[in-house]
Each structure stands twice: as C-alpha cells, then as structure tokens.
Amino acid sequence: MWNLRPAARRSTRGIATVLLLLASPALGNDVFPYDRQLMLDVAPMGKVRRTPSITIDSDGSARLELWCRTASAQVTTNGDQIRIVPAPLPESLPQYMRDGQCAPERMDADVTLLNALAQVTTWRKAGGGVTLEGPVALRFLADDH
C-alpha cells in the first residue's frame, strides 16, 4: 500500500469510489425502471384527466396508455440505449371511453406520441423521472399511486 497518512488514504479511497460509480452504470443505480408505470409529464388535455403512461415489463413487453387508446410494444434496452417497437394502434376505442371523450386532437395526439416513442434512442434518469430521448424528449415520472 502507498505510504499515505490516514486522511490521505481515506481521500484517495473516496475518489476511487466516486470514479468507480461514474464508470459503472449498474453500480450508479442507472437501471431502467421496469415493472413501474411511468406517467408522461404533461398537463391533461382538455377536460379529460387521462394522461399517457407506459409500463415496460422486465421481459421487454410494454403497455402504452396513450391519450385515448392503448397499444402494446416491444422494448429493448442496452445501457442507456433504448428501442421501442410499437404495435399498430387499434382502430377501436377502449370500452370504458364514453362518447365525446376522444376529440380529434386527442386521437391525433395518440399518433404523434406513438411516432415519438418509436423514434427514441436513449434514456436517462433525471430529477426523479425518466427521459426518453430522440427527436423529441419525453419526460416520464413514476406513478406513486
């Protein structure tokens, strides 16, 4: 071992620990939050309180709750890389949706959001949430309910 005083040894160990954590995403707790519902960080659209969310299972299957419709997807992650391959949007609305809840702008927003999710390439944790980055950055917060 180096011939350092105790305080210098602690300082050196502390620096080495920080460098190790920065170099290793797994040790730095940058593991994708599988099996958690992540809510899109946006205000509700119109009078309907439903906001989009995604839930990605550890096997890569995902449920995409959009503004009106629900779609499935397959997700793969590798470090900070992510790829989302959504299934086509269903033509029919969910049974629980009442007439008038899905205005044309909400239906269009489904398509826009699905396209944005299909184009994300990286993810990162920041400020208590997860940001999916592509041409458009999409910030999601873990649902605390």
Supply the pLDDT for residue 140. 97
Supply the pLDDT for residue 8. 52
| DSSP designation for 113 | H
Q: For 138, phi and psi rounded to 5 degrees?
A: -120, 115
Taking 3-state DSSP, the helix, strand and coil percentages for the chain, each rounded to the nearest 5, stand at 25, 30, 50
Name the residue type at position 9.
R
Q: In the chain, which residues have pLDDT < 50?
A: 1-2, 11-12, 14-28
Count other Cβ atoms within 10 Å, centred on residue 111: 13
Supply the pLDDT for residue 58. 94
The pLDDT tens digits of the residues spanning 68-77 come to 899 999 999 9
- The rounded distance, in Å, linking the Cα atoms of 138 and 64 is 13
Supply the pLDDT for residue 90. 87
Supply the pLDDT for residue 99. 62
| DSSP designation for 139 | E
- The rounded distance, in Å, linking the Cα atoms of 85 and 74 is 5
> Cβ(27)–Cβ(21) under 8 Å?
yes
Supply the pLDDT for residue 96. 58
Concatenated DSSP letters of 49-84:
----EEEE-TTSEEEEE-SS-EEEEEEEEETTEEEE
Determine the topology of domain 31-142 in CATH.
Lipocalin (2.40.128)
Element (H, E) at 13: helix 6-23
User: Residue ranges per domain, the chain?
Assistant: 1-28, 31-142
Supply the pLDDT for residue 98. 61
Supply the pLDDT for residue 141. 95
- Residues forming beta bridges with residue 70, ordered by sequence position: 65
